[in-house]
Amino acid sequence: MTPLPLRIGIVCYPTFGGSGVVATELGKSLAKQGHEVHFITYNLPVRLGSFHPRVFYHEVEVSKYPLFDYPPYELVLTSKMVDVVKAQNLDLLHVHYAIPHASAAVNAKRILAKAGKDLPVVTTLHGTDITLLGNDASFHPVISDAIEESDVVTAVSHHLKDVTRSVFGESLDISVVHNFVCPHHFDLPPNEEFRQELSSDGAPILCHISNFRPVKRVCDVVDMFHMVRSSRKAKLLMVGDGPDRQAAEERARTHGIGEDVIFLGKVKNPIEALLISDLLVLPSETESFGLVALEAFAAGVPVVSSNTGGLPEVNLQDQTGRLRPVGDVAGMAQDALHILEASVHPTFKEAALKRAAEFQMENIVPQYLALYKKALQPST
């Protein structure tokens, strides 16, 4: 029988990325339901914020021993997992992202087995851990072992499940659990002062939110906006930071649209930016789900995206937005101009809100709980 409430260890990246957001919101929701949740990571997860009953944080600190050219984070994380599981008597670990979290977790499981403790490991694959790192020969055996030795494996889209099976074995048992949103996070009035500041004449605001890694194709966002801007007045709000920010800023200046493109940098709550936007642009090279597209829908914002990876499972053609092949910036500009027309924008907005309701937290979190129960069943 499953002991309820559960004591759950959650391991994730504490940064702004989608996997950390999903893991943190999941943990907060489980704690609200009465479970005890222990986050194990190297920094306080950005979405954790202030105190939540039954939520605990265990920091992983890597020694700066001079012999280490490369800090052995995975080993220290493994030891921390073993310690926390023992000290807090955890029922299971839910780890997000294969490298190094799932591989550290299955090693912790092996260590604990020697001490007579069975530790179920639930691994959630989020995207680039499979689509980019999974195809890198230097990681392949480790990711393969982590997936095979996890008790339950989930993927955030059918597309990611299919890719994982094609790379690591067609017989792998993988459950699809989509990303989710918490509707009450969007229950805020739009910040009119912010909107006025960006667009004093009421021109529509296009928005892009990401970590500005090459996979996000941020220069495509600027190029497509340049085409939109040559047909109508508009503003582009770029939220986030990362390796391609400088190139995107230069591209905007080269196009002579520097004044209409606002680079905000990292913000604590990107939802505020979505609430004052009219369209989200997501032209990614690959995207296993596209959490930010779902967040845009929840703010009533349609999406122009590439039709790659799991995005077609989220963004519905001609309903919640439009999709184009990766790199088709002219097509994306055409779609943006169409969606921004006053006669069609409200219909897209309404479909976006309806779509977000399908992926609300209360529909998705029970799917994880059901899988925890499966992982906790004694193997026969």
Binding site for ligand GMT (CB under 6 A): 13, 17-20, 22, 126-129, 131, 156, 179, 215, 286-291
| Nearest residue (CB) to ligand GMT, 27 versus 290 | 290
DSSP state of 292: H
Measured distance CA(242)–CA(144) in Å, rounded: 29
Q: How far is the CB of 337 from ligand GMT (least distance, A)?
A: 26
Please name the residue ranges forming H helices in 33-149.
73-88, 103-114, 128-131, 140-149
Residue 133 Cβ, how far from ligand GMT at the closest point, in Å?
9
The nearer residue to ligand GMT, 199 or 306, going by C-beta atoms, is: 306
What DSSP assignment string belongs to 124-158? EE-SHHHHTGGG-TTTHHHHHHHHHHSSEEEESSH
Least distance CB 373 / ligand GMT (angstroms): 22
Q: Among candidates 333, 342, 304, 346, which has minimal Cα distance to 321?
A: 304
Closer to ligand GMT by Cβ: residue 156 or 336:
156
CA pair distance 337, 242, nearest whole angstrom? 28
Between 39 and 289, CB nearer to ligand GMT? 289
Tokens describing residue 157:
């889209």
Q: How far is the CB of 16 from ligand GMT (least distance, A)?
A: 8
Q: Are 156 and 186 in contact (CB under 8 A)?
A: no
Residue 136 vs 197, nearer CB to ligand GMT: 136
Work out how close the CB of 19 gets to ligand GMT at its nearest, in angstroms, rounded to a whole number: 4
Comparison of 164 and 334: residue with beta carbon closer to ligand GMT: 164
Q: Return d(Cα 20, Cα 209) in angstroms, integer.
A: 15
* Residue of minimal Cβ distance to ligand GMT: 17
User: Scanning the structure block, which residue is given the tokens 């993988």?
Assistant: 174
Query: Smallest distance from the beta carbon of 344 to ligand GMT, in angstroms?
Result: 27
